[in-house]
Amino acid sequence: MTLAEALAAARAALRREPQPDVAARALLSHALATTTAGLLAHRSDVLSVADRRAFDALVRRVADGEPLAYVVGHQPFLDFSVRVTPAVLIPRIETEGLAEWAIRFARLRAAAGPPIRRILDVGTGSGALAIALARACPEAAVTATDISDDALSVAADNARSLACTDRIAFLSADLWPPDPRAPFDLVVANLPYVGTDEHDDVGRSVLDHEPHGALFSGRDGLDLLRRFVPELPSRLAPGGAAALEIGWRQGETVVALAREAFPYAVVTLRHDVFDRPRLVTIEPPT
Ligand SMILES: C[S@@+](CC[C@H](N)C(=O)[O-])C[C@H]1O[C@@H](n2cnc3c(N)ncnc32)[C@H](O)[C@@H]1O
């Protein structure tokens, strides 16, 4: 069987994936330790029996519901890629929107005055947001917290591979870093926001494979945000901003929490790439 034939068979087996073609190519390049461009160049080569077996086993795992990113061990995020294991949530494309907003805020601040010096990512998971911000804001020191030590070890590994180790301090913490006297210019958080009441709405593959500590936050999903938002004013430096990813039904509640905590700030509910209200930003008044 040639590579092209193996890809065609895999596409059929992966028909329930959102992009069977992309998944088939990702799995074959993983099995052969090559790039997708490398696959194209060798489409008519014949697969060895061992490679064919390895590829079939990977295809079966994904067809059986294991997320593609865990099977290949990495996930793209903006212009880089992070290693992912079942200890961390697979970073979503929606979260790239949060990163882009935060990067834009940091660039506008730098254009208007001194650049942002201190950034906090709460619930860092794979470290995707902390790394994106460290790469985009070279003058800033980034702190990233998570309650899961296993997640922190994946995040620290990612920072090492992306040459950001000296820019990010990873801390094991329940939401906040220990020293409340050192406020941040920019705080980002994609905390768990799924309600245990919504358990049945969550996809099987997510429920079976992604860490529940990264998904659920009390009955209505808001336990952590109800704890987090009221403390935010004491953690933000004057002129600082925050961006919080939320569930699509939580906008009204989180905006109200933010307005109560920051009566003079500009609080905005923003839409994600799928046009759902999924991001709350808090900015100083202009
Ligand atoms: C939805 S995931 C987000 C991961 C990553 N920031 C991203 O956007 O892909 C939430 C993360 O928050 C962490 N977390 C849950 N409860 C926490 C808490 N009380 N304090 C700090 N981190 C927490 C989880 O371990 C998980 O890594």
Q: What is residue 284's predicted lDDT score, i.e. its pLDDT?
A: 81
286 pLDDT more than 90: no
**Residue range 133-178, pLDDT digits in tens:** 999 999 999 999 999 999 999 999 999 999 999 999 999 999 999 9
**Residue range 29-39, pLDDT digits in tens:** 999 999 988 99
Q: Which two tokens stand for residue 29?
A: 């390049």
| Closest ligand 1 atom to 77 CA | 9
Domain assignment present for 275: yes
Mean predicted confidence (pLDDT) in 187-198:
97
Mean predicted confidence (pLDDT) in 221-242:
96
Domain assignment present for 254: yes
190 pLDDT more than 90: yes
Number of domains in the chain: 2
What DSSP character marks residue 47? P
**Strand pairing report for 266-271 and 277-283:** antiparallel
Please tell me the distance between residue 82's alpha carbon and the centre of ligand 1 in angstroms. Answer: 16
Domain assignment present for 31: yes
261 pLDDT more than 90: yes
| Co-location of 204 and 266 in the same domain | yes
Domain assignment present for 73: no
- For residue 250 and ligand 1, the question of a CB distance below 6 A is answered with no
What is the Rg, in whole angstroms, of the alpha carbon atoms belonging to the chain? 21
| Co-location of 43 and 107 in the same domain | no
**Cβ-Cβ contacts under 8 Å for 268 (sequence gap 6 or more):** 280, 281, 283
Mean pLDDT computed over every residue of the chain: 96
In whole angstroms, give the CA distance from residue 104 to residue 132. Answer: 12
Q: What is residue 182's predicted lDDT score, i.e. its pLDDT?
A: 87
- Burial-class residue 196 by CB neighbours within 10 Å (0-12, 13-18, 19+): middle
| Closest ligand 1 atom to 90 CA | 9
Domain assignment present for 69: no
Domain assignment present for 19: yes
- For residue 175 and ligand 1, the question of a CB distance below 6 A is answered with yes
| Co-location of 168 and 236 in the same domain | yes
| Co-location of 225 and 128 in the same domain | yes
User: What is the extent of the structural domain holding 122?
Assistant: 87-283
- For residue 155 and ligand 1, the question of a CB distance below 6 A is answered with no
| Co-location of 7 and 98 in the same domain | no
**Residue range 48-82, pLDDT digits in tens:** 999 999 999 999 999 999 999 999 999 999 999 99
Please tell me the pTM assigned to this model: 0.95
| Co-location of 50 and 97 in the same domain | no
**Residue range 100-130, pLDDT digits in tens:** 999 999 999 999 988 999 999 999 999 999 9
| Co-location of 109 and 28 in the same domain | no
Domain assignment present for 104: yes
| Co-location of 53 and 99 in the same domain | no
| Co-location of 98 and 59 in the same domain | no
| Co-location of 91 and 59 in the same domain | no
Domain assignment present for 279: yes
40 pLDDT more than 90: no
Task: Supply the residue whose CA is at minimum distance from atom 2 of ligand 1.
Answer: 214
Please tell me the distance between residue 214's alpha carbon and the centre of ligand 1 in angstroms. Answer: 5
Give the domain CATH number at 147: 3.40.50.150
| Co-location of 104 and 238 in the same domain | yes
| Co-location of 130 and 244 in the same domain | yes
